[in-house]
Structure 1
Amino acid sequence: MTDPVIELRGVTRRYDEGPPALHDVSLTVAAGESVAVLGPSGSGKSTLLNLVAGLDRPSEGTVTVAGTRVETLGEAASARFRRAHVGLVFQFFNLLDDLTVLENVLLPAHLAGAPKRGARENATRLLDSLGIARHADAYPGRLSGGERQRVAVARSLINRPALLLADEPTGALDTASGEEVRRLLTDLHAGGQTIVLVTHDLRLAQACATRTIGMRDGRVESDR
């Protein structure tokens, strides 16, 4: 039996004297699962994602991702860990407009010190598999929202991460582009990618997730 990709034990996150943003959360995510985290604004969804990504640290409890206690890592080590093990996809793409599509996708590989030739071959394969190879030399501003999100997904996968985290990946997209991203995430999961996505999009959760975690007031309210 393989170890879980994500394991949270008794995780609480406080930011001030008010109620905690996350309160005593324990959960595991196995390799190959696709998990949707749902809940109203302020329920703790993004806090949970940030803790798993190592972008934030818990006030109490432990966060283990791909066998590493991420809450113990310093800033530089946390950044190296994300580059090697975690792919991040955001609502507003976070692409660099002065770099081409191919250059955007290659950036995490270069930062990780990957051999240039192998990284370029991998990036080209990713762009082809995601249906955007023809845009390799274009700049992000010339692409549709759905195409830009595909570039963001390619960038997140360039270092072959154990885990893909997506924060409202269809939130800034029109209906057609959102459907493109739904199909893409479904295909990635079918190929074995472990995915955790935070979303308000029930259609996305139903299409892509094999498990749904409902959150409210910083607690896990349901897990099915």
Structure 2
Amino acid sequence: MNTPVIELRGVSRRYDGGPPALDEVSLDITAGESVAVLGPSGSGKSTMLNLMAGLDRPSGGTVTVDGVRVDTLSEAGAARYRRARIGMVFQFFHLLEDLDVTDNVMLPARLSGMSRTAARHRAAELLDALGVSRHARAHPGRLSGGERQRVAVARALMNRPALLLADEPTGALDTASGEDVRKLLNELHDEGQTIVLVTHDDALAESCATRTVRLRDGRIDSDTAAEPVR
């Protein structure tokens, strides 16, 4: 039996004494799965992702990712954990406009102590694999939305993370660019990357996910295996 990459055990998160954003959630995700997390606004999707990433702490329960008890980490420890084990892709890219594409992609490796030469070589490999090597010296503002998202994915993969977290990765893209990102997520999954995808888009989930977890009012409403429709 595969050891889970992600283990949530009785995880709750409350803010300012209000109703729980997550309420006693338990979930296992194993290596190589592509899991879509869906649900209406306020259902707890982004809260779950932030807890997996160590960007937030649970009010109760435990969060373990790739053997690390994320809920017990200090701020500095959580930053080191994200650099070493997590790749994150966001709706609005979060690329640094004053750095060119190569330097944006290299940034996680440089923060982790990789030499500039090795980081540049790894960045070049990723940009080539993701089809944006021709933009290596351009600044993000000169790229299309789809190209910027590919650069963001390259940056997320820079340190060979155990887990790729994607938060509405097509939400800011036009239809054609969104289709490019969908294909890219499928290619990464085919290569063995473990992915957790938060989305409002049922079609994206159906085309990318081997499993769909639906949240409602902070609880898991359904958890079903699926065969991606590509």
TM-score by length of 2: 0.96
CA distance in 2: counterparts of 1:223 and 1:158, whole angstroms: 31
SS in 1 for 2:25: strand
**Partners of 1:88 and 1:166 within 8 A in 2:** yes
Superposed displacement of residue 118, structure 1: 1.7
Aligned residue pair count: 224
| Residue aligning to 2:135 | 135
Whole-angstrom distance in 2 between the partners of 1:79 and 1:155? 16
Q: Offset of 1:16 from its aligned partner?
A: 2.0
Deviation at 1:196, TM superposition (A): 0.0
Matches within 5 A, 1:48-67: 48-67=48-67
| Ranges in structure 2 where 5+ consecutive residues have no aligned partner | 225-230
Q: Aligned equivalents of 1:182 and 1:2: distance in 2?
A: 26
State the AA in 2 paired with 1:157.
L
Q: Does 2:146 match 1:146?
A: yes
Structure 1 residue 216, shift from structure 2 partner: 0.5
Aligned to 1:125: 125
Is residue 2:203 matched to residue 1:191?
no
Q: CA deviation at 1:202?
A: 1.4
Q: How big is the shift at 1:17?
A: 2.1
Which residue of 1 is the match for residue 3 of structure 2? 3
Instruction: Tell me what 1:210 maps to.
Output: 210
Aligned counterpart, 1:37: 37
Letter in 1 for 2:123: A
Point out 4+ residue stretches in structure 1 off by more than 2 angstroms: none
Q: Is the 8 A contact 1:10 1:61 kept in 2?
A: yes
AA aligned opposite 1:220: I
For each residue in 1:164-184, what CA deviation from the matched residue of structure 2 results, as whole angstroms up to 9, or x when unmatched? 000000000000000000000
Q: CA deviation at 1:2?
A: 3.8
String of CA shifts for 1:61-87, please: whole Å, max 9, x gaps.
000000000000000010000000000
Partner of 1:19: 19
* Alignment partner, residue 167 of structure 1: 167
Give the Å deviation of 1:3: 1.9
* Structure 1, unaligned runs of 5 or more: none
TM-score, with length taken from structure 1: 0.99
| Amino-acid identity (%) | 72
Measured on the aligned residues, the alpha-carbon RMSD in Å equals 0.7
